[in-house]
Chains A and B, each alone.
Chain A
Amino acid sequence: MADKSQTCSVWLGSETGILKGVSLSKKRAFNFCDMSSVSRDQEICALTWGDRQESEVLVGCVNGSVKTFSTEKGVFTETRVCGDISQGRFTGIAVTDRSLITCVESGLLKVWTEGSADTVEINVGGEVCRMRQNPSQRHRVATGGKENPLKVWDLERPDKPIFTAKNVRVYDPSTPQRRPVLEAEFGEYPLTTLALPAGHDRVVVGNTHGQIAILDLRKGLVRGCMKGLAGSVRGLQCHPSSPLLASCGLDRFLRIHSLEDRSTVHKVYLKSRLNCVLLSSRDLELVGSDAAGEVEEVKEEERDEVWDSMETVSEKGEKRTVEEEAEESRETAEKKEEKKKRKKAKK
């Protein structure tokens, strides 16, 4: 078991509760789960790395438990109960130096510190879709969702958000204006996931129809589409160093595309519907190398509500965090005041 888990470079969580590891060098997929407790309420909805060396995977399940899986040993090492099913599914898990941050749909953001039973709780508002952690300043967390504007929280001062946004677009929190910089639209169907490749000028989005597109951030144009997916895209992750994109979805396939020529590099059939994908940051082809990445579950959008999925990226050279969002929503009066817009006929 241990040697199998050490060779896996891509980790996926499925709806049946099975953690799957895929080794691209050996072209095989492995299931890691304890067969006795496999049930639908253990459906995996969030995945993240437990530490910077990427030796542990934290798995968040629907029933509120967070399991730790060690990639070196190949077994689940511990389980923690961080909430129950009444609060909703996990929309984000993140780890700082000694504590675990979890956020659920009902808006409860909790920080669990090891060793002490106390938890610091913040209520970020209802109906949270996503929570992401700033990779450079790990004590800052951004949350957003339906009717819940983008907020950035500093965990050391848990009372009030640092920044609150009214609508969701490409934001640059370091500029004095609170206006979005760019709005981009793609397709007619709701966008489910976003991923940022290493170049900082492009963003990759996936929608419920199985279309994955690369959008250019300077103008908001579609650079190209990836072919092959037949189901809703549930997870997207870009590799930090090599130009690869991993995607998983409801059609039960993991696909790795090359970002430059948009061709499919690998395609693996995994028998359950997939929810999230985690890449390790080492080179995917080598045995035991991984890329860190996380794609989380997505909720559907109703009329008049804001679609939100976000990631934070820090640019080298300039200490800025740019929060980017690409979305699909109804035109409101506020949008007419924005600088760059493109109107499309909506259904």
Chain B
Amino acid sequence: KLLEEAEEKGPESESAETSSSTRPALPPTFSLSEIKNKQRRQLMFMKLKQEKRKQKLELRKKRRKEREALGDKAPPKEVPKTIENQRVYDETTVDPEDEEVAYDEGTDEFSAYFNKLINPKVLITTSDRPRGRTVRFCEQLATVIPNAHVYYRRGLALKRVIPQCISRDFTYLMVINEDRKVPNGMILCHLPDGPTAHFKVSSVRLRKEMKRRGKDPTEHYPEVILNNFTTRLGHSIGRLFAALFPHDPQFQGRQVATFHNQRDFIFFRFHRYIFRNEKKVGIQELGPRFTLKLRSLQKGTFDSKFGEYEWVHKRHEMDSNRRKFHL
């Protein structure tokens, strides 16, 4: 069998080399998937791919020569289409000069924080009976967020926890939900009467799993970067994250927490930076990293049955278009 295949490969490869685009005597409606023999089919397909690659390379070289020949008169480079480029324009995108939105944000539940009246105080807890990974994740989160305290859940109902937190002057309640020994959800509740956001957490990497990481974060207040929260809903969520951290970042600590929104996923990273000279920066990633996806935003404090929702993710209605994003 092997000898036969070698003989077949022989004549085929020769004919392929002689004419780069024709196969040995095939009818025009032939397609590679009709060859029943798996090995021969795979071989033909591999050859087809190699030829296509060769053609593409030739085309690219030709275009580059033409571009260099034209010099200044060359047409501008075409920008490839990406999903972010093709994003459907969202009419709730916030205009920076909009008065009504500015007024709305100036008097909403976060106004106490943004008017520099209150400093944040965060309570981190989990769902009942957390496993090791979740516990370590909570501890690392507490080092990243200043003025955060981790408490063990002990089976308490959240509705009873919330009034106690309010009486002890907490401004945020963060509950990490665990499923199958891995954190998979987060409820972030702004305390006096503020909005509650429910996120799906994925891709959690703890500190020891980070490659080339730096030393542990210090107690300095980090800076906060919020990227790409453009719509009205995105603005609300961005403010929710911003109010987690104290106002005055200590630049001496050179630590920065980033919440980057892309395609409705929010990526959290924590870095330490150092400016080597004016143009070059070195960064080290410390701390945990995770991604969040917003599932719902509720207007009052956490109340799963009777609360009023400001935004709810409805999969069949909202996810039907690949180019429409809400944050």
Interface residues of chain A, those whose CB is within 8 Å of chain B, are 16, 18, 31, 38-40, 189-190, 192, 208-210, 227-228, 230-232, 250-252, 269, 271-273, 300-302, 347
Contact = CB atoms under 8 A, between A and B. Distances in A.
Nearest to A267: B91
A40 B305 CA distance: 27
B271 to A, nearest CB: 34
B100 A16 contact: yes
Given A269-B91, A271-B101, A209 B309 contact: yes
A251 B311 contact: yes
Nearest to B308: A232
B303 interface: yes
B123 to A, nearest CB: 24
Nearest to B299: A250
A211 to B, nearest CB: 9
Could you say which interface size class chain B belongs to? 20 to 34
B103 A38 contact: yes
Given A228-B317, A250-B299, A252-B232, A16 B306 contact: no
A210 B317 CA distance: 12
B104 interface: yes
A263 to B, nearest CB: 13
A16 B299 contact: no
B17 interface: no
Interface string B305-327: 11111111010011000000000
Contacts of B91: 269
A251 B310 contact: yes
A273 B311 CA distance: 11
Nearest to B303: A300
Nearest 4 Cβ contacts at the A-B interface: A232-B308, A300-B306, A250-B310, A208-B308
Nearest to A232: B308
A39 B107 contact: yes
A219 B104 CA distance: 44
A221 to B, nearest CB: 22
B98 interface: yes
A230 B100 contact: no
A210 B100 contact: no
Contacts of A272: 100, 104
B299, B308, B317 interface centre (most CB from chain A within 10 Å)? B308
Contacts of A209: 309, 312
Contacts of B98: 271
Nearest to A300: B306
B306 A231 contact: no
A3 B244 CA distance: 47
Interface of B: 91-92, 98, 100-101, 103-104, 107, 232, 299, 303, 305-312, 314, 317-318
A330 to B, nearest CB: 12
30 contacts: A16-B103, A16-B104, A16-B107, A31-B100, A39-B107, A190-B306, A208-B307, A208-B308, A208-B309, A209-B312, A210-B309, A227-B317, A228-B317, A230-B312, A231-B309, A232-B299, A232-B310, A250-B311, A251-B310, A252-B92, A252-B232, A271-B100, A271-B101, A271-B104, A272-B100, A272-B104, A300-B307, A300-B308, A302-B306, A347-B305
Given A38-B103, A208-B309, A209-B312, 11 more contacts: A16-B100, A208-B306, A210-B312, A228-B317, A232-B308, A250-B299, A251-B310, A251-B311, A252-B92, A271-B232, A300-B306
A232 B303 CA distance: 14
Contacts of A228: 317
A231 B305 contact: no
Contacts of A39: 107
Contact of B311 (A192, A231, A269, A302): A231
Given A16-B103, A31-B100, A252-B92, A231 B307 contact: no
A230 B306 contact: no
B318 to A, nearest CB: 8
A44 to B, nearest CB: 14
A209 B299 CA distance: 11
A300 B305 CA distance: 9
A230 B314 contact: yes
Contacts of B310: 231-232, 250-251, 273
Contact of B100 (A18, A208, A251): A18
Contacts of A301: 306
B84 to A, nearest CB: 22
Contacts of B312: 209-210, 230-231
B119 to A, nearest CB: 23
A255 to B, nearest CB: 13
Nearest to B98: A271
A269 B232 CA distance: 11
Contacts of A271: 98, 100-101, 104, 232
